[in-house]
Amino acid sequence: MNLRVLLLFFFIFFIFNSTDAQENGYNEAQLTNGDYDNRYGTYNEDGSLILFESNRDGRWQIYTMNIDGKNQKRLFTSDANDRRPTWHPYKNIVLFESDRTGTTELYTFDISSKNIKQIKIPLIGNKRYGQFFGNGVELLFTLEKNPEEHLIYRVHKKGKLLRKLVDNKSINRYPKTNKRGSAVLYHSNKNNENENEVIYTHNVIIKENSKLTLFKDKSNFGSWPNVGNRIVFSTIIDNVTKTSEIYTMQSDGSRKRRVTFNDQNDYLPHWSPNDINLLVSRKGKYEQIFKILLKEKL
């Protein structure tokens, strides 16, 4: 089979699969609504509760809701912007960022005791996009050293054993660790003339970085699976999508498959505990959280 025939085969295969998915699609359930923004939806360990942020009260605050979108309630009240909440891997503890001191710092909230604790990290700059490692005692975050230089660090939950994982003069954001803690996903504008964002993995053991998406596309907000091997992410693919859509790919960047098809921007995808469904944020007039039912039916 010559190269021209091979390329034609893959083109027809791609169009067929894309059209089929667009016509049949996946069922969706809209979980939030209202004249305000809701985003960063994530499941807890057993999939019984969803954590998210909302500005419905005039500033960013942290909420939970049932998996059907009901019983939405704020976890606690503050005069600050409390943002980007994520779960502890096996406890009802929430990691979040807040500007309550004038600088964005990382905090934990224990749902049982209602205690809020600051993670005192000895670095100057805003700390964002915090996430626990699978061991529950270490975490990842992005340090905004300056507007053009965002670095990724690893640290103990008590602020000790600080280690730099990704260090370059570019914007490196949204670090996510896999279950074993052996690799970190992030997106960056490095090696790309500071234009489009590209998704990379950082191997914690051998300290090497691998590129998973193309420079010509804008890809970001990658998230590891819980039990499988499909990374989920958002992207605007050159000459294919006009808005940000959700795709999956293997952990080596192969076998990219499109999940969402609409004229709005979908991003911030997260798997359910058994990788059955997805939570995504969709930006129309306001941002809302949707559940993409990959296997579960309405």
- Note the pLDDT of residue 30: 97
In sequence order, what are the residues at sequence separation of 6 or more whose Cβ sits closer than 8 angstroms to the Cβ of residue 187? 172, 173, 174, 197, 198, 199, 200, 219, 220, 221, 222
* Residue-level pLDDT at 240: 86
Residue-level pLDDT at 11: 43
Say if residues 279 and 267 touch (Cβ distance below 8 Å).
no
What pLDDT was estimated at residue 2?
56
Residue 246 has a pLDDT of 97
pLDDT value at position 298?
Answer: 43
Distance from C-alpha of 251 to C-alpha of 228, rounded to nearest angstrom? 10
Domains of the chain (ranges, CATH numbers): 28-293 (2.120.10.30)
The predicted pLDDT at position 17 comes to 44
pLDDT by 10s per residue, the chain, length 298: 554 544 444 444 444 343 444 444 699 999 999 999 999 999 999 999 999 999 999 999 999 999 999 999 999 999 999 999 999 999 999 999 999 999 999 999 999 999 999 999 999 999 999 999 999 999 999 999 999 999 999 999 999 999 999 999 999 999 999 999 999 999 999 987 667 899 999 999 999 999 999 999 999 999 999 988 899 999 999 878 889 999 999 999 999 999 999 999 999 999 999 999 999 999 999 999 999 999 765 4
Query: What's the pLDDT score for residue 210?
Result: 96
pLDDT at 73: 97
Q: What is the pLDDT of residue 238?
A: 80
The DSSP line for 101-115 is: TSS-EEEEEETTT--
Helix (H, G, I), strand (E, B) or coil at 180: coil
Q: What is the DSSP string of 138-172?
A: EEEEEEEEETTEEEEEEEETTS-S-EEEE-SSSBE
Q: What percent of the chain has pLDDT over 90?
A: 84
